[in-house]
Amino acid sequence: MDGLLAIWHTWRLPLVVVFAVLLVSLRLYRRGKSRSHTLTTTSIPTPPRIESHEKSISRVPPVATPRQNYTNDKENSNTSQTGATAKLAAGPKRVQSKRPAKTVTGRRAISEEQTHPLFIQPVIFFASLTTTTERYANLLLEELRVVAQEYTKLGIPNGGLLLPQIHDISYIDFEDYFASAPQPPSTAPGTRYLYCILVPTYNIDTVLNTLLAHLDEIHNDFRIDTAPLSQLAGYSVFGFGDKEEWPTEEEGFCSQAKEVDRWMAKLTGRKRAYPLGMGDVKNDAEGSLRKWSEGLQETIVDILRNGGLGEGVPGSGDAVESDEEDLEDMEYLDDESYAAKQKKMGGATMVDLEDIKMNGQSGAPIPIDFTTAGPTILAEPQAKEMVPKTSPTYSALTKQGYTIVGSHSGVKICRWTKSALRGRGSCYKYSFYGIRSHLCMEATPSLSCSNKCIFCWRHGTNPVGTTWRWKVDSPELIFNGVKEGHYKKIKMLKGVPGVRAERFAEAMQIRHCALSLVGEPIFYPRINRFLDMLHQERISSFLVCNAQHPDQLEALNRVTQLYVSIDASNRESLRKIDRPLHRDFWERFQRCLDILREKRHIQRTVFRLTLVKGFNVEDEVMGYANLVEKALPGLIEVKGVTFCGTSTSAGAGLTMKNVPFYEEVSAFVVALNNELQRRGLEYGIAAEHAHSCCVLLASERFRVNGKWHTRIDYDRFFELLEKEKADGTSFAPEDYMRETEEWALWGRGGFNPEDERVFRKGRDADSRARKAREILGAEMVPEAV
C-alpha cells in the first residue's frame, strides 16, 4: 500500500495530464463523428445544386399502392430525416424560433439578418388519395426543376434556386417539417425553405385531417412559439376540389386548402408568398395550377432578388380574412374613426396647394393656355412643382396611400380592386359597364382641380387652382410611373388573406384606367397624348371631369367613356356644393353641357349625379331634367353621396344625415325618369348596384330589341379606334355597346352571382333594395325591365 502511494505521489502529475488528454481526444472524436453523420443523413440538400437534385429526386415516392408507398417513405424517413427530428425526439418539445421582423407596412422583412448567400429550397408537399394531386405535384416539381436549372445557367452570384424536393404528406413525420423550419445545411447557412403545399379536399376523414389537427396543435402548444415556421422563406397553398359537387367555397369547394393556408399563415408569422390557388378537377385544374405556379416562380425570383418577400400592405399574410374594409379609404369612415385616423397619421393637416408657398416664394400664378397641349408649355422656366416631395401635401397624400408620380400625378388602389382580388365583388362599373375592378387602375395626371367640393373625400389634401401654373411632366413619365405604382401596390396585396391566385395573376395586366382620382384629369395640358398611350396598350379610359374647363373638354380626344360630374341643378346649389374657384363657374358649366351635346354621337357621354340630402335632391328633379334636356347624355349615373367625415364636409354642415338611403335614391331616379318621359325624352332606368347606392338611367339609344346594352365591348372599341386612326372612319358609342347582364338590370340588385357575398352589419344591399321596393311599391320599381 505504501509502495502504491509512493508511486502515485511520484507519477500523479503525468497521469492526470495523460488522462485529461485522453478525455479531450475522445470528446473531439465523438463530436466529429456525430457531425459527419448529420451531414450524410440530412434530407436538406447541400449546394452545389446538382447534388441537391439527385438527393431530392431520390425522395420522390414511387407511384405505388399506399401501403408500399408508406413503407418506402418510412424507410426514407428512417434513413434520411432532418436534424430537426433528432433534436425533437430527444426530449419534450421545445421549439424556439424568432418572430419575423416587421416592416413599417406590416410584415415581410426577411426573418433574420441574411449574412450568407441566399439559396431558396422549394419543398413540395402533397396529399393524394386517388393520385390526381400527386400527378399535379409532379408537374409542379418538373416546372420548378426547369426554372431552377435555368436560374443556375444565368450564373447569378450570391445564392440561387435549388432543385425542388417533394414529399407525400402521408409518409412524412409532421414534426420534421411542421414543428419548426428545417435547419439550413452548415455548408449553405443562407438556405431558406419555401413550402409549396398541394392538397385535395375530402369531407371524409383522411390524412388532411391529421395534418390540420397537427398544425392546430403546434400553433396552440404553449411550449412552442406560435410561429415556429417563421424561418421559412415563405409558403403557398394550392387546393384541388370538385366544383360539380361542391360548386362554391361556402359549400366546401377546396375547403381544406383554405384551412391549411390559414394555419400556415399563423405558423409562419404571415409569410404567404403567393395567394392561395384553387383548381377544379372537372374544369382545367391544370391550367389553374400552371398559372399559380408561374406566379409562384416570379415570387421566388423576387425573393432571390430582394432577399425577402418584400413589403406587404398592413395585414398581408394574416391568417384570417378580415371583413373590415380598408381603413385607408375614407369613404366609409364615420366622424370618430376619421378623427382617430387623422391622429394616427400624426395629425397631418390638410393644406390646399393654393395656400402653400413654394420655396419661400409666393408662387404667383403663371398663366398657361392649357388648351393648346403643346410642348411649348414645357419650356416655362419659372414653373414649380405642383406637389414637391417636401410639401405637406405630398406627405398627406402618401399617408393616404397615394403614390405620387412625377410632380403632379397620382395613382391609388381603390377598395374595389382589393375586393375583386378577393372574389368579393367589383364596383358598380362592373354591373353597368363590365369593368372588372381588379383590372382597373385609378389614376390622375393632375392632382389639382378648381373646385373644393364639400363631399370630396380627398379634399384638403389635393391642391387647387384655376390655371395650370406648374411644371408639366411628360406623358411618358406619368404613364410609366402610374403603371409601376399600380403594379407595386397590387404585388403588396399578394399575401392578403382571401386574394385569389387567378385574379392576382390577371391583375398584373391593367385593362381599364379610371381617370377620376382626386383632381381634374383634363387640367393636365398633355392629356391627349396620355390617353393615346393608354389606348395603345388597350387600356380603356374612363375620364371624369367637373364641367369647369370647357376649352379642355372641347379639345379632348376620344375616350372610352366621358363623364361630367353634375353636382347640382342650379347655380346657387352648385356654388354651395362644389365651391368653385372660378367666378364664372355657372357659365363654364353650361358651356360644358353644350359641348357634351355636340359630342354625344362621338363620345359615350355620362352625367354623374351625386345626391346629397338637404343640398341637391329635394325639389331639384325639374332642374336636373333641364340639364339632361340640354346635354342629352347617353347615360345618367345617380349615386348617393358617401360620407367622408372630413373637417371640410363637417364645416360645410355635412353629416350622416345628408347621406340618402337607397330607397331615396331610387325614388329620385323614378321621379327623374318620369319627368324625362313627360318631356318626351327617350330615357329609361336600365341597371342598379344597390351595394353602392347607385342607379343607371340610359338613353333609348342603348336599348336594342327591348334589351339594355349599357355594357362596353372593349375589344370592339379598340378595333374601331385603330381603324379611325388608320383611315379616319369615325364611330359612335352605339358601335361598341354590349348587352347588360340580367343580374345587373333594374330590380335585380346588381350583385354578380359569381362573387362571394360578404354581409356586414347593416350593409346588406339586397335587403336595402328590397326595402326600397316595399316603400316605393311595385309599379314604381319594376321587377326587371
Ligand X SMILES: Cc1cc2nc3c(=O)[nH]c(=O)nc-3n(C[C@H](O)[C@H](O)[C@H](O)COP(=O)(O)O)c2cc1C
Q: Which residue number places its CB atom closest to ligand X?
A: 241
Residue 711 C-beta: closest distance to ligand SF4, Å: 14
Residue 417 touches which of ligand X, ligand SF4, none (Cβ within 5-8 Å per kind):
ligand SF4
Nearer to ligand X, 68 or 220 (CB): 68
- Is 129 a binding residue for ligand X by CB under 6 A? The answer is yes
Q: Measured between alpha carbons, how far is 713 from 99 in angstroms, rounded to an integer?
A: 50
Q: Measured between alpha carbons, how far is 588 from 520 in angstroms, rounded to an integer?
A: 15
Nearer to ligand SF4, 429 or 588 (CB): 429
- Is 254 a binding residue for ligand X by CB under 6 A? The answer is yes
Sheet holding 440-444, edge to edge: 403-405, 409-412, 440-444, 512-515, 540-545, 561-566, 605-611, 635-640, 694-699, 683-689
Which range of residues in 95-103, 198-206, 351-359, 558-566 is near ligand X by CB under 6 A? 198-206
User: What grid cell was written down for 375?
Assistant: 410642348
Residue 438 C-beta: closest distance to ligand SF4, Å: 8
Residue 414 touches which of ligand X, ligand SF4, none (Cβ within 5-8 Å per kind):
ligand SF4
Residue 429 touches which of ligand SF4, ligand X, none (Cβ within 5-8 Å per kind):
ligand SF4
* Residue 77, CB-side half-sphere exposure with 13 Å CA sphere: 19
Residue 170 C-beta: closest distance to ligand X, Å: 11
Residue 165 C-beta: closest distance to ligand X, Å: 19
Residue 666 C-beta: closest distance to ligand SF4, Å: 21
Residue 284 C-beta: closest distance to ligand X, Å: 13
Residue 437 touches which of ligand SF4, ligand X, none (Cβ within 5-8 Å per kind):
ligand SF4
- Is 168 a binding residue for ligand X by CB under 6 A? The answer is no
Q: Which residues of 726-759 are buried (b: 16+ CB within 10 A; e: fewer)?
A: eeeeebebeebbeebbeebbbbbbbbbeeeeeee
Strand partners, 237: 197
Residue 265 C-beta: closest distance to ligand X, Å: 21
Nearer to ligand SF4, 206 or 561 (CB): 561
Identify which of 519, 586, 524, 577 has the alpha carbon closest to the alpha carbon of residue 555.
524
Residue 553 touches which of ligand SF4, ligand X, none (Cβ within 5-8 Å per kind):
none
Nearer to ligand X, 101 or 212 (CB): 212
Residue 721 touches which of ligand X, ligand SF4, none (Cβ within 5-8 Å per kind):
none
Residue 410 touches which of ligand SF4, ligand X, none (Cβ within 5-8 Å per kind):
none
Contacts of residue 640, defined as CB under 8 A and 6 or more positions apart, other chains included, come to 610, 611, 659, 660, 661, 662, 664, 665, 693, 694
Residue 442 touches which of ligand X, ligand SF4, none (Cβ within 5-8 Å per kind):
ligand SF4
> 403: helix, coil or strand?
strand
Q: Measured between alpha carbons, how far is 393 from 403 in angstroms, rounded to an integer?
A: 12
User: What grid cell was written down for 227?
Assistant: 410561429
The correct pick among 34, 36, 71, 130 for binding ligand X (CB under 6 A) is: 130
Q: Measured between alpha carbons, how far is 469 from 465 in angstroms, rounded to an integer?
A: 8
- Is 61 a binding residue for ligand X by CB under 6 A? The answer is no
Nearer to ligand X, 128 or 466 (CB): 128
Nearer to ligand SF4, 416 or 470 (CB): 416
Q: Go through the chain and tell me how many residues it has.
A: 785
Residue 253 C-beta: closest distance to ligand X, Å: 4
Contacts of residue 716, defined as CB under 8 A and 6 or more positions apart, other chains included, come to 735, 736
Count the residues of the shown chain that bind ligand X, applying the rule CB under 6 A.
20
- Chain positions contacting ligand SF4, by CB under 6 A: 414, 416-417, 427, 429, 435, 437, 440, 442, 514
The residues in 230-249 that bind ligand X, with binding defined as CB under 6 A, are 240-242, 246
Q: Crossing angle, helix 585-599 and helix 621-631, to 10 degrees?
A: 50
User: What grid cell was written down for 653?
Assistant: 354642415
The correct pick among 235, 238, 253, 563 for binding ligand X (CB under 6 A) is: 253
Phi, psi at residue 176, to the nearest 5°? -70, -35
- Is 462 a binding residue for ligand X by CB under 6 A? The answer is no
Nearer to ligand SF4, 417 or 673 (CB): 417
Q: Measured between alpha carbons, how far is 206 from 68 in angstroms, rounded to an integer?
A: 18
Contacts of residue 277, defined as CB under 8 A and 6 or more positions apart, other chains included, come to 236, 237, 238, 239, 288, 289, 291, 292, 501, 502
Contacts of residue 723, defined as CB under 8 A and 6 or more positions apart, other chains included, come to 729, 731
Residue 133 touches which of ligand SF4, ligand X, none (Cβ within 5-8 Å per kind):
ligand X
User: What grid cell was written down for 119?
Assistant: 439559396
Interface residues with ligand X (CB under 6 A) are 128-133, 200-204, 240-242, 246, 252-255, 281
